[in-house]
Amino acid sequence: MVQKAWGGRFAAGTDHRVEQFTESISFDRRLFKHDIQGSAAHARMLSRVGLLTPEECQQIVLGLSEIQAEIEREDFSFVLEREDVHMHIEAALIEKLGDVGRKLHTARSRNDQVATDLKLWVRDALDRIDARLIDLQRALCAAAERHRGLIIPGYTHLQRAQPVLAAHYFLAHLEKLERDRSRLADCCKRMNVLPLGVAALAGTSLPIDRDFVAHELGFETVGANSLDVSSDRDFALEAVFVLALIAEHLAGWAEEWILWSTQEFGFLALPDAICTGSSIMPQKKNPDVLELIRGRAARVIGALTTLMILVKGLPLAYNRDLQEDKEPVFDAFDTVEACLDLAAVVVAGASLRADRIAERLDEGFLDATTLMEFLIQQEVPQRTAHAVIGRLVSQCESRGLKRLADLSDADLLAAHPSLGPGTRERLGVANAVQAFQSYGSTAPEQVKTQLQRWKNKLGL
């Protein structure tokens, strides 16, 4: 069946297979609120410059409001023949108002219209992501407070390295999320430029007022080059890049907690509500939510890759390829928002197992670096001190000793004459933690200050 094409250029209708291939209403319908928001602002501008009468503007704005209400109560028909959300809303408006509705598209193109709609949608979605990041930060800050005095092993290369306060560990994730929030804010700043008014690619000969529309829609300024604006999807790529980095941060945290919840580590107790069992093994408690958060980072990175390849090599100005930007953008936002929601639930419900951590906390020579720095304070060169403590660790391992503190005073003095009085005050994880001094370290006073700073910042 051949359908009737819209517009007067074509003598024949559109092949139904082409309509199926080119439609976007199946996914871009979620832009309806932003399309109506942009259209209403455009109508008010047309009235302001005399291209619509005040009465026509009032009819259009009221008609758009009615259409939005119909869509929200699911009393609106979406059909393949109308292709996209923009044509659906315009057609519905024409059905309501006749020729008055036909005037709405004056001085705009679907090219600048869809860019505006997508920017409005992404701008709102970035606000939702930011709110979810704050929720997760609050959960992490509360966890830091709950585990305030607990010492845990810190790792490099997934090998025990130095002792750190658990609160310091939670605050590390807070810092990552704060950088994510900063990137969101930067992204919003760059994208807050109005596309509407550049029409198809060259602008319009009609006397429009783009600054008025920008003010109506909350944009800081207007696009300065119509060719650039018509082709620009930098804002979408940048937003999804930020989402990909958030997803990476969540995936790294999830991987860590998956490991910590194993019997081999035994550091972490996860709430039953976020775990599942096995269909065959009755004893299993699987961290499925964490595994899916880790896994779904791949989807967000895939969305970014799709967008990067999509715009690669596109000539100025608009090309239909850009229709393909919406599904990866929508999916990336949906995925990250859901992951952040569940991450906050996991952090709030999980707890570190202080007893299990304490059982093996002295293993791994976590105080070795602090003991080396004790020698440095005795004016022993760093490389010499490093070698001395390395030999002591090797000696412990060869004798089956698990701690440097298990060495005798004679052993310590034989290793270096500076390992005399005061040495044992640096041995053991508790002493090692107390020895830290530098800003940003795991020193208890430093962590206390940073924790209070975060509590104040997050209103806790």
Q: Kindly list the distances between the CA atom of residue 218 and the CA atoms of 100, 123, 365, in Å, as whole numbers in the listed order.
A: 26, 10, 57
Give the alpha-carbon dihedral of 292, 298, 301, 307, to 10 degrees: -110
- pLDDT(5) > 80: no
The predicted structure's pLDDT at residue 3 = 40
- Which residue is associated with the tokens 């961290």? 287
Annotated catalytic residue 16:
no
Residue 163, phi then psi, degrees to nearest 5: -80, 145
> What pLDDT digit, counting tens, does each position of 387-425 carry?
999 999 999 999 999 999 999 999 999 999 999 988 999
pLDDT at position 11: 63
| CA contacts within 13 A on the Cβ side of 396 | 20
What is the average per-residue pLDDT within 241-253? Answer: 98
Catalytic residue among 26, 65, 182, 278: 278
418 flagged as catalytic: no
Q: At 181, give phi and psi (nearest 5°).
A: -65, -40
- For residue 12, pLDDT beyond 70: no
Pairing, β 221-222 against β 193-194: parallel
Distance CA 92, CA 76 (A): 9
pLDDT per position as a tens digit, 57-107 = 999 999 999 999 999 999 999 998 899 999 999 999 999 999 999 999 999
pLDDT-derived band at 9 (thresholds 50, 70, 90) equals low
Helix (H/G/I), strand (E/B), else coil: 225: coil
pLDDT score recorded for residue 2 = 34
For residue 6, pLDDT beyond 90: no
- Give the pLDDT band (50/70/90) at residue 449: very high
User: CA-CA distance, 393 to 360, in Å (whole number)?
Assistant: 17
- Whether 148 and 167 have beta carbons less than 8 Å apart is answered as yes
Instruction: Indicate the DSSP class of residue 280.
Output: S
Instruction: Please tell me whether residue 221 adopts helix, strand or coil conformation.
Output: strand
Sign of the four-CA dihedral 412, 415, 417, 423: negative
Indicate the length of the chain as a whole number. Answer: 460
CA distances from 413 to 367, 422, 423 (A): 17, 12, 10
Enumerate the β-bridge partners of residue 160: 155
Token readout for 330 is: 């929508």
pLDDT at 19: 84
Q: Kindly state the percentage of the chain with pLDDT values over 90.
A: 93
Q: What is the pLDDT of residue 150?
A: 98
Mean pLDDT over 305-334 rounds to 96
Q: How far is CA 299 from CA 54, 252, 306, in A?
A: 48, 15, 10
* 8 A C-beta contact, residue 297 and residue 208: no
Structure tokens at 280: 């065959």
> In whole angstroms, what is the distance from residue 424 CA to residue 402 CA?
16
Average pLDDT rounded to a whole number, residues 148-157:
96
What mean pLDDT, rounded, does the chain reach? 95
Q: Is the pLDDT of residue 1 over 70?
A: no
Catalytic position from the list 157, 279, 408, 438: 157
- At 16, the pLDDT band (50, 70, 90 cuts) reads confident
CB-CB contact of 301 with 244 (8 Å): yes
Please give the pLDDT value at position 161. 96
Give mean pLDDT, residues 222-243. Answer: 97
Question: Lowest-pLDDT range, 8-17, 52-61, 312-321, 386-395?
Answer: 8-17
> Does domain 368-458 match CATH 1.10.40.30?
yes
Tens of pLDDT, residue by residue over 342-370, are: 999 999 999 999 999 999 999 999 999 99
pLDDT digits (tens, 9 = 90+) for 252-265: 999 999 999 999 99
- The predicted-structure confidence for 425-436, as pLDDT tens digits, reads as follows 999 999 999 999
**How is residue 54 written in tokens?**
């005040």
Q: Was domain 2-106 assigned CATH 1.10.275.10?
A: yes
Whether pLDDT at 22 is above 90:
no
Residue 13 has pLDDT above 80, yes or no: no
Identify the CA nearest to 48 among candidates 214, 229, 199.
214
| All structural domains of the chain with their residue ranges | 2-106, 111-359, 368-458
Evaluated on CA atoms 94, 95, 96, 100, the torsion sign reads: positive
* pLDDT for the residue 342: 98
**Confidence class for position 18, pLDDT limits 50, 70, 90:** confident
Tell me the residue ranges of DSSP E strands in 282-402.
Answer: 351-352
Higher pLDDT, 114 or 1: 114
What's the whole-number mean pLDDT along residues 163-174?
A: 98
- Would you tell me which CATH number, out of the four given (1.20.1050.10, 1.20.200.10, 1.10.1240.10, 3.60.20.30), belongs to the domain 111-359? 1.20.200.10
DSSP 86-129: HHHHHHHHHHHHTHHHHTTTTT--HHHHHHHHHHHHHHHHHHHH
Cα–Cα distance for residue pair 416/388, rounded to 1 Å = 7
Tell which residue, 438, 237, 409, 247, has the closest CA to residue 339: 247
Which residues lie closer than 8 Å to 153 by C-beta, 6 or more apart? Answer: 160, 161, 163, 164, 357, 361, 364, 366
Can you list the pairs that 163-168 forms with residues at least 24 positions away whose Cβ atoms lie under 8 Å?
Answer: 163/361, 163/366, 163/367, 163/429, 163/432, 163/433, 163/442, 164/433, 164/442, 165/433, 165/442, 165/444, 165/447, 166/352, 167/447, 167/451, 168/442, 168/447, 168/450
pLDDT digits (tens, 9 = 90+) for 266-295: 999 999 999 999 899 999 999 999 999 999
Residue 10 has pLDDT above 70, yes or no: no
Q: What is the pTM of this model?
A: 0.94
Task: With a cut of 90, say whether residue 224 has pLDDT above it.
Answer: yes
Give the pairing type, strands 159-165 and 221-222. Answer: unpaired
At 7 the pLDDT is 58
Q: What's the CA gap between 178 and 174, in Å, rounded?
A: 6
CB 457 within 8 A of CB 173: no
Residue 190 above 90 pLDDT?
Answer: yes
**Lookup: tokens for 453:** 């700073």
Whole-number pLDDT of residue 4: 43
